[in-house]
Amino acid sequence: MQWNRGFFYSQVYCASFLVWISPSVTVVDVAGSQQGIPLSVVKLWASAFGGEIKSIAAKYSGSQLLQKKYKEFEKRGRVEEIDGAKLVKKVAENMEEMFRKKAVAIRRIVEAAEDAHHQHEENPDLQYEYFNAVLINEKDDDGNSVELGGDFLLEPNDHFNNLSVNLSLSVVQVPTNMYNKDPAIVNGVYWSEALNKVFVDNFERDPSLIWQYFGSAKGFFRQYPGVKWHPDEHGVIAFDCRNRKWYIQAATSPKDVVILVDVSGSMKGLRLTIARQTVSSILDTLGDDDFFNIIAYNQEVHYVEPCLNGTLVQADRTNKDHFREHLDKLFAKGIGLLGNALTEAFTILEEFNQTGRGSICSQAIMLVTDGATAMYDDVFEKFNWPDRKVRIFPYLIGRESAFADNLKWMACANKGYFSQISTLADVQENVMRYLHVMSRPKVIDHEHDTVWTEAYVDNTLTQAYKLKDSRGLNPVTTVAMPVFSTKNETKNQGILLGVAGTDIPLQELMKAVPKHKLGIHGYAFAVTNNGYILIHPDLRPLYQEGQKRRKPNYSSVDLSEVEWEDTDDVLRNAMVNRKTGTFSMEVMKTVDKGKRVLKMHNDYYYTDIKGTPFSVGVALSRGHGKYFFKGNVSIDAGLRDLVQQDVALADEWSYCNTDEHHEHRYLTQIQAIKQYLTNRKPHLKCDRELIQQVLFDAVVTRPMEAYWTGLALNKSENSDKGVEIAFLGTRTGLSRTNLFVNPDRLTNQDILTAEDTEGVFNADHFPLWYKRAAEQVPGTFVYSIPFSSVMDNKSVVLASTAIQLQDDRKSPIVAAVGIQMKLDFFQRKFWTASRQCAALDGKCTISCDNEDIKCYLIDNNGFILVSEEYSQIGLFFGEVEGAVMNKLLMMGSFKKITLYDYQALCKEYTGSGDSAHTLLNPFSAIKWLLTEIIIFLLEFNLYSWWNVDVTVKADRRGRTMMVPCDTEYPAFVSERTIKETAGNIDCEGCMRTFVIQQIPSSNLFMVVVDNKCDCSSIPLVTMEPVEIMYNESLKCDRLKFQKDRKKPDSCHPFHPEENARECGGASSLSPELTAATLLPLLATLITR
């Protein structure tokens, strides 16, 4: 989590964000160094190897032929400069249309739901069989369908993550802790059946829609298309639509909340445990547009986080988790003076509201206590009457009702709601009741505000669907709208029926971006009104690439945490405030899993997406990145060359929109282009400019197929099969590949496939080999070993070069071409070259075979490609030869760049937890829930027996876990102007000599080091990240610091027609739920 970095740097580092180790090139006595390692010999080796390897790379890649072909077509086209302002406006319009269509679909659902409810008369005796999401297609022991199950046709559908779905019907999910046949649920399910027709119609109109749903205020969740849900290993589905962000955000207005927790002596034991869970559940209902604080009180007022005395903080994931940690530290003692706590809460809300921060909308005090001996009308009269702008929500903990009347009076006198929570089983349902009250003004106003969530993944749904494919974890944003009762007799009650919504995969947003216009290093990004990233290529939501586990705060990564060079948040704040404009800065962009860095100057263009709380921006790198070559060929010639077998188009680019009509869904992009250009599909929408350019590239690159085929057929060429693949890519996302070996004999079969995510064109970046080649001197090759291939022991070397029309910074790079070689083939060329010398008799005095020297081949970022020890391949040179790397940094041959990672994870040791904390994990909480229900039903005290089981099973061993943190880490880049140098290192009196020589026409360096001295006392140079440690004062400042945010436009804090008499009462679980549902589950659990 990043915050005010200007403040941080001044107190911690007193340095700028970019740290260069100043080059002080030492001119070494070459004659002296030649006594051990002759510079001229190393230069000869480097020249021989460079010539040999470039000859191979150029020959098999066909780079010179491709350069020639583009030059021949140069006169048929023109160079065009990209207009960033026009580009971002177009992207915003495309996204706006995409969002608008989804909002229209939701409005249809809302209108149908309100009409269906209006015509329905509640019937407490209604019996109705519906398709329960968990029970469909389930059979009993006799082979008959279970109740609420039935046969439900399901067919796999790739549009829905290849899940088996029913496109004609929806299913209904009821939370595990609710009774499937509760009259309120049965009635709601019955009238909401009318939504099936609307769901189907919406999907017919817009085939890009995915899940559509209606979340009822009664707790059930209707979802289309129908899909089977699966409980977890404990028989539970921990999904309640009413505590999802999209539901809460649509149902209520933004709010400022103070939670008061009674920690007097009477709250000891189970009551305090229930109180903690109640507070935690309240936190679950708060979102990024809400603000809160928690105060514990007895005879004194204690802020749960002392640092935040007298203020409120944003209810983002990080802050809520921080407070949850402090809840475990609460303990009960003393007497409770509620009057002082209420006074403090009112004071905070009033003073914080006057600062202009916070929600500037609804206000509430949540009171969690086991009793109140007075009504405290003097406090309310002083702070809250007659306007009653602050609602009071008392939660009475425990079964005693002696003080219930006082607490209920407080709720009724202050437009709130009273609830009694006797057991852990009661917590969630009772906490949810306040949302109904907070939604009343919006319902009475009949304002169907459209809301949009930040990017998120609902892992509970993923588990319920039993998704195994990582595609199921793609983040979405949800558009949602509240559904109201329109019956005249209930108007002043403001009855919220529920919330309708649909998800939009963020991958879909990328289809609105013309990637070919952004160029090799350009990208599009979008942020929310809170500054959180919606889409950005540098967002890293997973713990590790390829894993499915997401970081806890992945949905609240601020733009300033990835565009961290903007230390004043100029770009971020402009976008948060929905402005249109431009911004420029120098950036250090990392590639190749953060191990390499590219220095460039970016121009940013941004604007708002109308109808949403989002803003979108595009970044264009200066130089070749802002120029595009537009060629022209005939459609017939282009189509003929486009449909060749060796041609592929970027899988995630949108040449044609195949999502708008069902009949187009199964077309490949090449098929769609062909049908579009031949007018076979008149309704197909395509990017004509992009198609024209991809046809041009297909024609220009066509000769490469014959060239590569000729090499493959020539038996005298590549006899040892050292070169395995040749490939090329163009700025339009077109690629061609040619295999020189059989596919099953490829050393690394993932290269240039969908598994090679960094090596192919995708929605937000060009291939890595393309990007790195673009930043090399024209005509040179960049060589690298993919880090993943080293780890998997499938080592290969990639060589690539950029095709530029002219040797000019403003000349566009039209393509890149390269080859894949076997690592051992590449290394053999190196060792052969290192045995050469200028001696007339052919007897060399020195070679890399000598035991008294070590030879390495490293790249421009310091990674080893060739070493005598295979285990060192792929390592950073400083981790092997620390003394030499330190000297190279001192001499300026390499530069160190300090980078910052505000999405990092660090190891943290956690000790054992107490039994109270254990009760807050889901399975233990279920045990508590069941125990308390049995107490309630049978009045038999099972507490001690059940608690022993929980306590015995508590994990008392400490463990290591990964937690979010901020780190700094180094990257290294060679100095291009230094081609060769030599040096001496003093290793405790022993002088060690080394020579470094650049390999011509490449990004490589030969390093030769004598092996006579032990330099192990000199520290290694590593790339390990170091956690940025904040002292307590800085931690506190970070908690208090609030970045700019734009408040939602809509606010409905209260309404004069509101019926405040609906203010709650004691509640209990229905006997049907207890007896029919939970007793069998208890029996199962007891046997575990």
pLDDT tens profile 294-327: 999 999 999 999 999 999 999 988 899 999 999 9
**ω before 537 within 30° of 0 (cis)?**
no
Three-class SS of residue 80?
Answer: strand
pLDDT of residue 851: 87
pLDDT of residue 1079 exceeding 70, the answer is: no
pLDDT of residue 594 exceeding 50, the answer is: yes
Task: Average the pLDDT over each of 122-131, 490-499, 629-638, 684-693 and give the range with the smallest value.
Answer: 490-499
Tokens at 127, concatenated: 């019996």
Question: Are the C-beta atoms of 532 and 557 separated by less than 8 Å?
Answer: yes
Nearest to 790 by CA among 721, 855, 859: 859
Q: Which residues contact 79 (CB under 8 A, 6 or more apart)?
A: 627, 628, 629, 630, 805, 810, 811, 812
Q: What angle do CA 465, 202, 159 make, to 5 degrees?
A: 40
Q: Which residues contact 10 (CB under 8 A, 6 or more apart)?
A: none
Distance separating alpha carbons of residues 189 and 94, to the nearest angstrom: 37
Task: Average the pLDDT over each of 453-462, 588-597, 798-807, 853-862 and give the range with the smallest value.
Answer: 453-462
Mean pLDDT calculated for residue range 70-98? 93
- CA 181 to each of CA 54, 147, 475, 930, 1077: distance values in angstroms, whole numbers, following the listed order: 75, 11, 34, 20, 11
Work out the burial of residue 545: count CB atoms within 10 Å of its CB; fewer than 13 is exposed, 13-18 middle, 19 or more buried: exposed
pLDDT of residue 793: 60
What torsion do the CA atoms of 963, 964, 968, 971 make, to the nearest 10 degrees?
Answer: 90
Distance separating alpha carbons of residues 670 and 653, to the nearest angstrom: 12
Question: Are the C-beta atoms of 1059 and 493 separated by less than 8 Å?
Answer: yes
The DSSP H or E segment spanning 203 is: helix 195-205
* Helical segments of 756-864, H only: 768-774, 787-791, 823-833
Q: In the chain, helix, strand, coil percent, each to 5?
A: 35, 25, 40
Q: What angle do CA 664, 666, 672 make, to 5 degrees?
A: 55
Question: Are the C-beta atoms of 1078 and 431 separated by less than 8 Å?
Answer: no
Do you know the residue count of the chain? Answer: 1088
pLDDT of residue 953 exceeding 80, the answer is: no
The DSSP code for 688 is H
Residue carrying the six token digits 């003097």: 378
Distance separating alpha carbons of residues 367 and 666, to the nearest angstrom: 56
The DSSP code for 110 is H
Neighbouring-strand partners of residue 581: 606
pLDDT of residue 942 exceeding 50, the answer is: no
Computed from CA positions of residues 426, 428, 431, 433, in that sequence, does the dihedral angle turn out positive or negative?
negative
| β-strands 894-910, 685-686 pairing | unpaired
Distance separating alpha carbons of residues 365 and 1010, to the nearest angstrom: 74
pTM value is 0.87
Tokens at 600, concatenated: 């460039």
pLDDT of residue 599 exceeding 70, the answer is: yes
Tokens at 907, concatenated: 């190891």
Which amino acid is present at 513? V
Three-class SS of residue 824?
Answer: helix
- CA 880 to each of CA 254, 877, 886, 1018, 1019: distance values in angstroms, whole numbers, following the listed order: 56, 5, 11, 11, 10
* Helical segments of 15-173, H only: 30-34, 39-61, 63-72, 84-119
Distance separating alpha carbons of residues 37 and 360, to the nearest angstrom: 73
Distance separating alpha carbons of residues 499 and 109, to the nearest angstrom: 10
pLDDT of residue 460: 67
Distance separating alpha carbons of residues 617 and 1088, to the nearest angstrom: 54
Nearest to 97 by CA among 517, 616, 652, 605: 616
Distance separating alpha carbons of residues 558 and 560, to the nearest angstrom: 5
Distance separating alpha carbons of residues 430 and 413, to the nearest angstrom: 19
Using a pLDDT cut of 90, give the percent of the chain over it: 63
pLDDT of residue 861 exceeding 80, the answer is: yes
Band of pLDDT at residue 613, cut at 50, 70 and 90: very high
pLDDT of residue 938: 36
Render pLDDT for 479-502 as a digit per residue (tens, 0 to 9): 999 999 999 877 778 899 999 999
* Average of per-residue pLDDT values in the chain: 86
pLDDT of residue 232: 82
The DSSP H or E segment spanning 1037 is: helix 1032-1040
pLDDT of residue 723: 95
Which amino acid is present at 217? A
pLDDT of residue 918 exceeding 70, the answer is: no
Tokens at 833, concatenated: 């070259």
Question: Are the C-beta atoms of 711 and 740 separated by less than 8 Å?
Answer: yes
Band of pLDDT at residue 253, cut at 50, 70 and 90: very high
- CB atoms under 10 Å from CB of 394, counted, come to 29
pLDDT of residue 24 exceeding 60, the answer is: no
- CA 954 to each of CA 183, 922, 958: distance values in angstroms, whole numbers, following the listed order: 39, 13, 11
- CB atoms under 10 Å from CB of 253, counted, come to 22
Tokens at 671, concatenated: 């098929």
Question: Are the C-beta atoms of 510 and 1079 separated by less than 8 Å?
Answer: no
Alpha carbon 850 to its chain's center: 51
Mean pLDDT calculated for residue range 1006-1025? 93
